Each structure stands twice: as structure tokens, then as C-alpha cells.
Structure 1
Amino acid sequence: MISQSGPQRYISDAKAYDQLPNFISELGVTKVLFLHGTKSLAAAKPYLPDFGTNVAVEDVLFNGECSYEEIDRVANIAAQKGTEMVIALGGGKVLDTAKSVTTGTHMYLVLMPTLASNCAPWSALSVHYKENGEHINHEIYKETANLMLLNPEVILNSPIDYFVAGIADTLAKFYESELIFEDLPEEQFTIALTISRQMANNCRDVLLRDSIQAVEDMKAGRMTHTWRNVAETIIVMAGTVGGWGDSYARSTGAHSVHDALTLFPQTSHLLHGAKVGYGILVQLVIENHYDHIKELLPLYRTLGVPTNFHELNLDGISDEDIEKIAYEATTEEKTMNLIPLPITAQTVKDAMMKLETITAGVQQSA
């Protein structure tokens, strides 16, 4: 097991970006590649400093998908320009692309998230997709970012749906790891795993307690302690779960269901975390944790996290397509297989069908 706790340096402050010119200067960097999306740049621009008078900046617009094609494109630009540092500004896919570009190279990496939608700013891994949005894989790296800068004011003004997706994605940190931790013998619990499990528990506790209020605060543009606590739970605390726990505490069933759903264009409008949120419910049915489902459903309905085929935009889905989702969620390379239970495609299909009944309001007994 390899633990990587997070970025080498982390700053969360309204003036966090102001640290960037000194950081570049201290490292003697003169050639920077600045990777960003259009919306992320617009959101952050009022806070961005000049990178330095002696710094040549190659401005690169992100194409929207963390695909191998995009990684190669950005890497080629970096090589042609002799880039010494990549600065990535935006959501998880922008940051994951930058991680894929810099890993194993001499280039420094700076991550500047503009959304609280997942733990990509903290984690040492990238999730890769095809150009059409279908999930391919995730790769874990031996390196973490040199610097992560978080400006809460930028995050506060980001779209609410990304924040809600981040809440759902972060809840998975607990529900995907709980059974694995419960199954581990006490003598296998290292300090790293103890930290990971505690952080997973904290993710659940903070989000179940504070998510609804945090969303209301964000809608009202209020920079409250509750909102900031939830935002940093999504980005930082969530990242420490897998960072310390490695394969014991990364994705399992919920993310496998997400990955399978990306094969269906009807779900493409849904964010990563929204589909993961649905996957949590499927996993909980598989585990017979109906008490957790009962606890989560009111929160899901208040926040608008999908709970069934209708809310996934899969009305009228055929039996064949349900079987396709179930099969794709359980293929050999999927993390569904890390759950310490016997699971087949039929298990997942049955769980999805039972979830349909539960969310239709029919009482179920465990």
C-alpha cells in the first residue's frame, strides 16, 4: 500500500492566487503553460496576478475532456515550448489532464480548482475518458501537485449543480469504503488506514449534517463557515481518504455504476458526482444497507441527486440495456470487484430493479 497525503503545499484563502508569482520566481521558472477552460478563466480572472515579468506564458484552452488525445495535444505543446511548469485552472477534468501531462516529467504542477465538484485538486490520479465522454480508466501517479491554490470566493460563485455533484461524489468516500474497512482484521489497520477511515467517516458526518444549509448559503452568495466547511470537505477531506487508504479506500461499487452509465448518451448531461450518487444507492442495495438508503433519500430529493432510471433520463430503458449497465459495472477491471461480497452482473441488475421499487415509495424490508 502506498499513501500520498496530498499536494506538497496547499493554500486556501481569498488571496491564495497572490502566492503564485513568488512560487514561480523561487523555483526559477521562466516558461509556463497555463491550461484552462473559458468559464474557469472568466471566474478566476478578477483574482489572477501577473505570473511575472520574466515569465513566458503559453495560454492553452482546454478542449473539455480528459482524453488521451487531449493529454497528447497539451504534452506536445509543452514539449515544443520547453515548459517548466504547468498551471491548471478549472474543474476536475482540466486538473486531471494537467496531472497526466506532467507526471514522470521535470515539469512542476500547480492546480487551481474553480469548482468544488470532486477531490481531483487533491488526489494523485487522473480519470480518463474517450472524446465522447465514455469512461476509460483511472491512473494513480507516484507524484502529487507541487502547489494547490484554492480561492473560496471563486468556488462560491461557481454553478450550484457542480457543488451538489461534489457532495454526492464525496459521500461515496464513506459508502464505498465502509464494507472494506469492516472486513479488515484489526491487525491490518495501519495508522494510514486509520486516518483514511476517519476521514471517510468525517466526509459522511459533515455532509449529512451541513449539505442542505451549505447549498442554501451558496445560492444566497453567503461565505459562511458551514459552506466553506462543505466545500473543503469535497476537495480536501475527500482527497485524503484515497490518499491515505490507497486501494482500500478509493472507488468501488458506486463509481463502477457511474462508469457503466457513461456508455449511455442519455445520461451525458448529468455530472460525474450525480451518477456516482445513484451508484451509491445501487451499492447499498447490494450490501443490504437499507438503513443507509433511508437516511440518504431525503437528502438526495432535496438536492436533486438521481435515485432511479427516470431521474437518470433513462425512462423506458430496456431489459437488455439494464443488463448492459450491470455487465459493464462488473467487468474484471472494475472496482466493483473490490467489495468483499460475491457480485455478478445479475446482482447489480437485481439491485437496480429493487432500487426502482424503493424509490417508487414501496416499503422494503432488509
Structure 2
Amino acid sequence: MPGFLASLVRISSYRSLPYAVACAVMTVPVSPFAFAVAVSVEAESRVRALVALLALAVLMGLLGLLGPVRRLGVGLANTLLGTAVPAPARRPDAGSRLRSGLWLALHTAASGVLLTVLAFLGLGLLVPAAWLAGGQDRISFFWTTVGLGPWTIPFALVLLFAALALAAAATRAFRAGAEALLGPSTTERTALAERRAAVLAQRNRLARELHDSIGHTLTTSTIQAAAAADLVEADPEHVRRALGTIEEASRSALEDLDHVLGLLREEPAAKEPARTLTEVDVLVVRAREAGLDVRLSVTGPVAALPAAVSREGYRIVQEGLTNALRHAGPGAVDVRVGAGPERLEIAVVNALPGERPRTGRRGLAGLAERVEALRGELDAGPDGERWRLSATIPLRAGA
């Protein structure tokens, strides 16, 4: 109760008023038909008014079965009531249509009752004004005659409180009803969950693409630029080679970036760079030019690997060399790629630095997701005095 009383001083508690007025505006096209039904009934005026309201609610309920009207109802609820009902499907199912029709009928009936009661309460607020103005000592009010006096002031305050409380309670009721009857059905919730999962998967994919491609290129270019700056006068030829490597790596990074931006814009024109294990020697050359002593061993028919496996294998080697550039201790880096009849095996082994590298890096987590998607296994961690990144990807079911 204290919370309800506190809500009476908030403007948002009276959203039911514009929402009810909006419903009244929506009833204009069907009101003549409801009045025609009421006129055809032989009864007292009060009964005819009730019949007109019921007929209007039924007609609005039938109107609510239409998909565009359901979308309009969701938009009004979100805008005027402050709800967060998801946008409905373009073609709602039968259950959603029935719930929408039921809500529009209830909305119409409740709005009519709310506006009528508030109008009578508003008239009651004029009673103290009639007494204060003087000139009369009695007034006809609600089909009765009452004497005027000081009692009219507290009476008006009670009516004002009742009007505010009714409007605030109606706001809560309208919100609850709109969320329950205009909210998504089970099928629509499933579709929404699938869309959210697809968006999350796409974001994770973009994060992996940026980390694997752009991160590797920036690491290589940074190391090359630092080495060139130290040798700009002593070894100009080495500087020219370093600048050439940076230029080539930058072009490659721009291709990857164009692909990722195309995915963000959902543009089909951005073509994904198809880098596979057949280009692993390019990665090794760049790493050597950046200062690593890399020993590469490739065995088996790498060119015959499935495209998806070969692409992920390229990324594994790329991540291993990037981490070696950043963290490896002195000594050679061994890269071994073995394509057998049943599985692909990759290992990148380098010396540990003075301080052992932290585990749980974002790049390794992305690699683990890639390898797991191919039913493979990834292992990364210290192996004696060296750091080993190894992956095994099956090439046949059950391998």
C-alpha cells in the first residue's frame, strides 16, 4: 500500500488516461454499427447504453483478429503505457490473433468504464465550487438533491483521491493485460530466442575473425616496424624488406576487414578471404621476417583437406605464431602440420618466456570453439620448458 500511495505522485502512473483516449479514437469507425445494434433493442436508455458498449467491445474484438491491428495495439501499449512487448510476427498464428482480439475487446470495455467513472468523479469536484460561489444551498447530484455546506471540501478531496487511485490502478491493469495478451506466443518466443542466438553467434564469429586476422597482422606489423626503426640507418635493405612485409600484411588485413564490415552491414558483396593450410608457408615467412626462428614441417595431402578443416587449420597456425611473436622466449618455434587419412594434427611449440604466459586468453577460447565445432580437440599449455598449442581434427566420422 505505501508503494501504491507513492506511485500517485508519479506522472507515469496515469498513462491509462491517454491509452483509454486512444482506444476511444480507435472505436470511431465501428461506433455507428454498435449504436445501430443498441437502437434495435427495445429497452431503457441505460440498458441500451450498456448494449452499445458490449456491441462495441465485440466489434473491436473482431477487429483485433487482424494482424495490422495487433501490431498497432503493441505499438500503442509500448508508446503510451511504457511496456516492452516485442514486435509481433508479420503473420501471427491463430492463438495470437485470438489473444489480440480478446485484449482489444477488454481494452475497449475497460476504457469506456474508466472514462465514464472519471467523468462522474470530475463532476463531483464541482460541488465545492457551487457552495463557495454562493447563491444556492442545495444541488442535484447523481440523481439526488443534497444540501451544500463545508462538507463539500473534504468530499471533493476524497473524490480527487479516488480519481487518482482509479487511474493509477487502471495503468497497472492495462500494463499487465497488454503484456499477457499482446506478448509473444510460445512459437514467437522460440523464434525470438533463435534470432537472439543467431545474432550472438554472428557477433562471436566477427570477434574471432577480427582477433585472428587483424590481431595477427597488427602484431606482425608492429614488430616489423619496431625492427625497421632500429635499423633505418645501419641496414637500409632490411628496412625495405620490413616495409614490404608490412605493406603486404596490411593489404591482407584490409581484405579481412572488408569481409567483416560486409558481415556487419549484411552486404553480400564482401567476399570472405579463402585462406587455407596451403598458404601456411606465407604465415611462416611473415613470422620469420618479424624475427622468429620458425621451423615448418608439413606432411600429408594438405591440399586435399576439406575446405572448412583447412581454413580452421590456417587459423590455428596463425594464432600459434601470433602468440609466439608476443610471448615466446628465445629459441626456435616448431610448426608441424600433418594431414593423415583420418585426422589433421597441428602443433605450434615455442620456448616459454621468463614469466609463464597466462592461460584463458580470448584467442585460445575462440580457437577452442572453432575446433569443437569440427568435433576436434584443442590443447594449449606448458610442456616442460616449452609452450605447446596442439589441435586434432577428425576427417571422418568416428575417427
TM-score (normalizing by structure 1): 0.24
| Relative contact order higher in (CA < 8 Å, ≥ 6 apart) | 1
More helix by share: 2
TM-score (normalizing by structure 2): 0.23
Larger Rg: 2
